[in-house]
Structure 1
Amino acid sequence: MKFRNPLLIVTDMERSKTFYQEVLALHVIMDFGANVTLTGGVCLQTKDSWKEFINAENDDIVFGGKDSEIYFEEDDFDQFIEKIKNIEDIQYVHPAIEHKWGQRVVRFYDPDKHIIEVGENMKVVCKRFLDSGMTVEEVAKRMDVPIKFVNVCNR
């Protein structure tokens, strides 16, 4: 058995495709109208077709839960933050923060209130710490990762 794709239910396919293309630079791989596959394996499905698939009523499908997210990593986190500052209608779960292990992240909603997290690439975090003068051992401790991971990032 193989895991294939996450599937997000959307109310407006065109609006969602535009959001994922403009904000996250994903591209349409396959477009079947009610179902679209984007780069990275993210799939979008219209609410109406999904209701039919699972034999559900309108009220059975609820948006805006805070129980999951889809996660992306970005090498140039600062550039990404500047980019989304200029996009209207971005609703933040929270602005950019730095977690205790040093990774900077931002969380926001897509048009249907699915949580999107964009985090700084962990290898970039490691390099940032090494470039600041920290030793391999200090970086491993700060990030709570094995020294082997830090050494791989240092190559």
Structure 2
Amino acid sequence: MNKIAKSPSNLLLLIVISVFSASIFMSNVFASSSEDTAAASIENAENTLVSAYQAILEAEQAGANISNLLTQLNDAGMLLSRAHLAYEMGNFNSARNFAVWCEGNLTGFIDEAEALKQIAIQRHYWDFTVNVVGSAVGAVAIIMGGFVFWVFLKKREGS
């Protein structure tokens, strides 16, 4: 046996140094892992926010009322901003939490924007249909009314 292992105090010192070294090494590994997790969460939140922005833009172009969605999008943007700030300050756990909250705030957002877009498209279709049919019926009614009035005046003049 080796001389270091023979003495209990040396063995205890060796164990303490090993545990301390391992904890320093592991904390660096976990910190790196925490940083990577935070960065991935922020990237996912950014992608979700961009997709939500594109969905709301399409809904607005279709003529949908997006005021409630804008409020929700602004709240998510604020959370993403806080995630970036926490990440820059080295608070990776908070950065990940803010990014996850940002994504959670946008759950179902794209579906809601798409539904509003479809409602706006249908509304425009019906408005157009009513205008075209209404104009055609109105024009026919005016022509028919004019003809009936002309016939009435002709009969009256002939009597």
Tell me, yes or no, whether TM beats 0.5: no
Structure with greater contact order relative to length (CA < 8 Å, sep ≥ 6)? 2
More helix by share: 2
Provide TM-score, normalisation by structure 1.
Answer: 0.26
* Greater Rg over alpha carbons, structure: 2
Provide TM-score, normalisation by structure 2.
Answer: 0.25
More strand by share: 1
